């Protein structure tokens, strides 16, 4: 999703863009596994540049989704439902209450602390282990698979070439035109290269930086349940997982965080864990039909912040990867900032905190 966003933003501004996709189809790794939350309030745990980036990107989403719909006819299913963050722990409740103060001071919409009785007025079927929670009206969700479909279609509308089953294995940055080596032995040159290879970015970056760059794949599993009726008017986010209901009626339950290398399939253990979380948060789901489960690999680097910007000062290789749990939320702002960096010749100030140079 991030690579498609970068490509589309550049193409809309007149650049000639080619996407090299290692798989048979775009968006089948982290993007395919995403539940599609745009959850600044629930996901961001501290003030600073990352929160600012999330805030800016969420503000772009309504127009971004509308433009994709106008370009392609594909609806991203942007749902401005809000989010209910609940906890079964008094300690977590105290921590969330402490976070509320800085969130309010930084413009995050968040309710007063709600007890179980108050929470059940919002969501009547809530499980009895919950002790407290907060409501975040500004946290939304989209259908991530439809977003990928819309981005692919919009890229084609704007003349982006998409070459599948083609993996970039290494690159030669330097001050001239960067050269990319491909899996089938040939090479390509370009005026600029943007590395958006997700969990596979580490190998390319390590060779270019001449030092190990560990972009670790973290497996995330999701279960889809069908309760047969509208059940969740908003995102339900607990201590160990979350639930949200799509327009299809399916309730998505996520997610695991597993350090298992490149094993990108769901497991019996993961399904059992997630269905248990679902039934504890919303007991009615115990009778829901099991629809299916899937998994994907989210790219993560030490410290948890994405890698955004030039690989080296004045260079023609840029990086947009390691968004981890927030690639869907950050796709619009990443496309905007990386496109500006390419077309204006220098990184926008907003990228400073996420520079890949911190890994050198």
Domain CATH for 294:
3.30.9.10
pLDDT at position 312 over 90: no
Q: Which is more confident, 203 or 71?
A: 71
**Model pLDDT, residue 229:** 97
Give percent of the chain above pLDDT 90.
Answer: 83
Quickly count helices (H) and strands (E) in the chain.
10, 18
Q: Does 295 lie in the same domain as 147? A: no
The H or E element containing residue 274 is helix 268-281
Instruction: Say yes or no: 295 and 222 in one domain.
Output: yes
* The predicted structure's pLDDT at residue 88: 96
Query: For 164-168, 214-218, 226-230, 311-315, which range has the lowest pLDDT when averaged over its residues?
Result: 311-315
Residue 107, number of CB atoms within 10 A of its CB: 10
Share of the chain above pLDDT 70, in %: 99
Q: How far apart are CA 223 and CA 293, in angstroms?
A: 4
List, as one string, the DSSP characters of 86-121: EES-HHHHHHHHHHHHHHHHTT------EEHHHHHH
CATH code of 22's domain: 3.50.50.60
Residues 11, 17 contacting (CB under 8 angstroms): yes
- Are 51 and 92 within one domain? no
Q: State the Cα angle at 218 between 90 and 28, rounded to 5°.
A: 125
Summary mean pLDDT of the chain: 94
**45 and 154 assigned to the same domain:** yes
Check whether 359 has a pLDDT greater than 80. Answer: no
Give the Cα separation of 49 and 183 in Å (integer): 36
How many domains does the structure of the chain reveal?
2
pLDDT of 332 strictly over 90: yes
**354 token code pair:** 């996420």
| Contact criterion met (CB below 8 Å) for 281 and 126 | yes
pLDDT grade for 147, boundaries at 50, 70 and 90: very high
pLDDT of amino acid 50: 95
Q: Supply the DSSP symbol for 29.
A: S
DSSP reduced 3-state for 283 = helix
What is the model's pLDDT at position 11?
98
- Who's near 296: CB < 8 A, 6+ residues apart? 28, 29, 30, 31, 32, 33, 34, 219, 220, 264
pLDDT band at 269 (very low <50, low <70, confident <90, very high): very high
The least confident of 61-65, 78-82, 205-209, 331-335 is 205-209
Question: Would you mind telling me the total number of residues written for the chain in this entry?
Answer: 360
Work out the number of other CB atoms within 10 angstroms of the CB of residue 52. 15
* Lowest mean pLDDT segment, chosen from 41-45, 139-143, 237-241, 337-341: 41-45
**Domain edge (last residue) among 271, 299, 327:** 299
Task: Check residue 360 and give its pLDDT.
Answer: 65
Range in 59-68, 83-92, 123-132, 210-219 the model is least confident about: 210-219
The mean pLDDT of 127-140, rounded to a whole number, is 96
Residues 42 and 112 both lie in one domain? no
- Whether residues 293 and 307 fall in one domain: no
Domain boundary among 299, 316, 334: 299
As a whole number of angstroms, the distance between CA 172 and CA 157 comes to 31
How far is CA 277 from each of CA 77, 86, 206, 253, rounded to the nearest angstrom? 25, 13, 38, 8
Domain boundary among 251, 276, 299: 299
Instruction: Domain of residue 117: give its range.
Output: 83-139+216-299
In this prediction, residue 46 carries a pLDDT of: 84
pLDDT in tens, 152-208: 999 999 999 999 999 998 887 666 789 998 988 788 999 999 999 999 999 888 877
Mapping DSSP to helix (H, G, I), strand (E, B) and coil, where does residue 313 land?
Answer: coil
Q: Which of 324, 327, 199 is nearest to 257 (CA)?
A: 324
Q: Based on the fold, state whether residues 189 and 243 are members of the same structural domain.
A: no
> What pLDDT is attached to residue 174?
62
- Quick check: 151 pLDDT over 90? yes
- The verdict on 208 and 192 lying in the same domain is yes
- Is the domain of 159 the same as that of 208? yes
Tell me whether the omega of the peptide bond preceding residue 255 falls within 30 degrees of 0, making it cis. Answer: yes
Q: Are residues 292 and 156 in the same domain?
A: no
User: Can you tell me the mean pLDDT for 26-30?
Assistant: 88
Q: How confident is the model at residue 247 (pLDDT cuts 50, 70, 90)?
A: very high
Is 213 a residue whose pLDDT tops 70? yes
Looking at the structure, tell me whether residues 221 and 295 fall in a common domain. yes
Q: Which residue has the higher pLDDT, 357 or 215?
A: 215
Whether 114 and 135 have beta carbons less than 8 Å apart is answered as yes
């Amino acid at each position: 999703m991030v690579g498609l966003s970068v490509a589309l933003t550049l193409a809309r501004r007149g650049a000639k863009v080619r996407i090299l996709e290692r798989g048979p189809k775009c968006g089948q790794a982290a993007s395919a596994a995403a539940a599609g939350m745009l959850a600044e309030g629930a996901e961001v745990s501290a003030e600073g540049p990352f929160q600012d980036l999330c805030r800016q990107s969420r503000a772009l989403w309504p127009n971004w989704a509308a433009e994709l719909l106008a370009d392609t006819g594909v609806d991203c299913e942007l749902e401005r439902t809000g989010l209910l963050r609940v906890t079964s722990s008094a300690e977590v409740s105290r921590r969330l209450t402490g976070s509320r103060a800085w969130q309010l001071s930084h413009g995050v919409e968040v309710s007063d602390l709600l007890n179980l009785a108050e929470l059940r007025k919002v969501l009547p079927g809530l499980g009895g282990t919950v002790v407290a929670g907060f409501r975040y009206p500004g946290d939304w969700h989209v259908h991530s698979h439809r977003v990928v479909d819309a981005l692919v279609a919009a890229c084609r509308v704007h003349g982006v070439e998409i070459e599948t089953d083609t993996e970039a294995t290494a690159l030669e940055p330097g001050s001239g035109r960067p050269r990319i080596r491909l899996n089938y032995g040939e090479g390509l040159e370009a005026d600029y290269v943007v590395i958006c290879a997700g969990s596979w970015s580490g190998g390319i970056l390590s060779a270019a930086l001449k030092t190990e760059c560990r972009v670790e794949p973290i497996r995330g599993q999701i279960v889809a349940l069908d309760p047969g009726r509208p059940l969740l008017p908003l995102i339900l986010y607990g201590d160990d997982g979350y639930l949200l209901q799509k327009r299809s009626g399916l309730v998505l339950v996520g997610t695991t965080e597993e350090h298992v290398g490149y094993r990108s399939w769901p497991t019996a253990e993961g399904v059992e864990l997630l269905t248990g979380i679902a039934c504890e948060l919303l007991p009615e789901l115990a009778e829901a039909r099991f629809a299916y489960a899937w998994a994907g690999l989210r790219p993560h680097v030490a410290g948890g912040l994405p890698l955004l910007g030039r690989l080296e000062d004045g260079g023609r290789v840029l990086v947009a990867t390691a968004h981890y749990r927030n690639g869907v939320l950050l796709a619009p702002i990443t496309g905007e900032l990386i496109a500006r960096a390419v077309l204006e010749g220098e990184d926008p100030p907003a990228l400073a905190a996420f520079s890949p140079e911190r890994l050198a």
